[in-house]
Amino acid sequence: MIFHTFATMKLKAYQVAEIVGGDVEGNDQVSIDSLAKIENGKEGSLSFLGNPKYKRFLDSSKSSIVIVADNFVSDKNLTKTLIKVKDPNEAFSKLLDLFGNQTSSKLGIDKLSSVDNTVSIGKDVYLGAFSICEKDSIIGKNCKIYSQVYVGENVKIGSNTIVYPGVKIYNNSVIGNNCIIHSGTVIGSDGFGFNLDKNGNQLKVNHNGNVIIEDNVEIGANCTVDKATLGSTLIKEGVKLDNLVQVAHNVEIGENTVIAACVGIAGSTTIGKNCMIGGQAGISGHLKIGDRVMIQAQSGVMKNIPSDSTVMGMPAFNYLDYNKSYVHFKNLPKIMSKLNDLFKKTI
């Protein structure tokens, strides 16, 4: 049986200020029950001014409360209430989380789901229609497993994790607490490994390891995380993957690293903590990427990168050197034209 619980949040200005650590300028008793863009604000909503280019909407916005930077000074007499904070973007993000957690919350196991009787299910779990959970798996408390999710045998999912529709989690995978996995993602599929036999045929290498995803990880839509040949493919705490990211067998991604869309990481590569990897970057196998490395978009990484480096290009090299080289590259037609003129004069 499925239960739906709903909550409508209503906050006064002084309460909002307490939540975001700000100061009220105006009526601290005015109430809001929704969030809105500043240009679309209405009475009873709260907006924020994070980018100065939207300042022109402040006067016309009907929002009851607007979050602004603590150094904001208006050149007009505003009737709406302001809450001044150090970082409006961060403050608004807190409120987005708060309001997001108050939306409809589903509880219970849908009658159209299939759950083996050996599965351990925690309190306040939701399993949507046509979701499947195989034997000996564990689902922690307050997990939300949406429709058409496949959870294989001996899978462990921690508390407060959300798995969106269409996700496939293969046998023996481990997923931590407070994780989010978006639609279409596949966790624990076979790695891409083949050996040639004496006749030149490709023989599949069996992958007998698993995938371990630690706490507070978010994985975007249509990502693939392959299981290890032996041991574990490891995504450590706080990692954030955008959509369409490929993580190959035995890869290790360090804490709080963020990876943009369409990145491919080949097998057995280790990526350090607090790295930032731009979209469409490709990283070869068996490499070691240090901590706090920044890899610019569309770069091709083919060798180890030490900590605190920033690289760009194909093959990737030092970012500043790349920019200097690019100046010459884009001027190459002019340079060649001058060289040809000099060559003709010497004939």
Under 8 Å between Cβ of 293 and 283: no
Range 102-117 average pLDDT: 85
End-to-end CA distance of the chain: 90
- Looking at the fold, whether 176 and 294 belong to one and the same domain comes out as yes
Share of the chain above pLDDT 90, in %: 78
273's tokens:
């903590």
Residue 319, pLDDT > 80, answer: yes
Domain-terminating residue out of 43, 70, 100: 100
Residue 318, pLDDT > 60, answer: yes
**How many CB atoms are located within 10 Å of the residue 249 CB?**
26
- Least trusted range by pLDDT, from 50-54, 108-112, 246-250, 315-319: 50-54
- Looking at the fold, whether 123 and 78 belong to one and the same domain comes out as no
- Looking at the fold, whether 157 and 95 belong to one and the same domain comes out as no
- Looking at the fold, whether 203 and 80 belong to one and the same domain comes out as no
- Predicted confidence band of residue 344 (pLDDT cuts 50, 70, 90): confident
Instruction: Specify the number of domains making up the chain.
Output: 2
Residue 6, pLDDT > 50, answer: no
Residue 66, pLDDT > 70, answer: yes
| Domain at 268, CATH number | 2.160.10.10
| Domain at 83, CATH number | 3.40.1390.10
The predicted pLDDT at position 347 comes to 67
The reply to whether 328 falls in a domain is no
Domain-terminating residue out of 56, 77, 100: 100
Average pLDDT of the chain to the nearest whole number:
92
The reply to whether 249 falls in a domain is yes
- Looking at the fold, whether 19 and 119 belong to one and the same domain comes out as no
The reply to whether 196 falls in a domain is yes
- Looking at the fold, whether 73 and 111 belong to one and the same domain comes out as no
- Residue partners of 38: CB distance under 8 A and separation at least 6: 47, 48, 49, 54, 57, 58, 61, 63, 66
Residues with a known catalytic role? 249
The reply to whether 345 falls in a domain is no
The predicted pLDDT at position 2 comes to 54
The predicted pLDDT at position 51 comes to 86
The reply to whether 32 falls in a domain is yes
The helix or strand, by DSSP H or E, that contains position 339, with its residue range, turns out to be: helix 332-346
The reply to whether 258 falls in a domain is yes
Range of the domain at 90: 3-100
Residue with tokens 């307490």: 18
Range 83-110 average pLDDT: 85
Which is nearest to 87 in space by CA: 34, 49, 141, 40? Answer: 49
What is each CA distance from 64 to 18, 61, 78, in whole angstroms?
A: 17, 9, 11
**How many CB atoms are located within 10 Å of the residue 329 CB?**
11
- Looking at the fold, whether 77 and 218 belong to one and the same domain comes out as no
The reply to whether 70 falls in a domain is yes
- Looking at the fold, whether 96 and 110 belong to one and the same domain comes out as no
Which pairs with CB-CB distance under 8 Å and at least 24 residues apart come from 280-286?
285/248
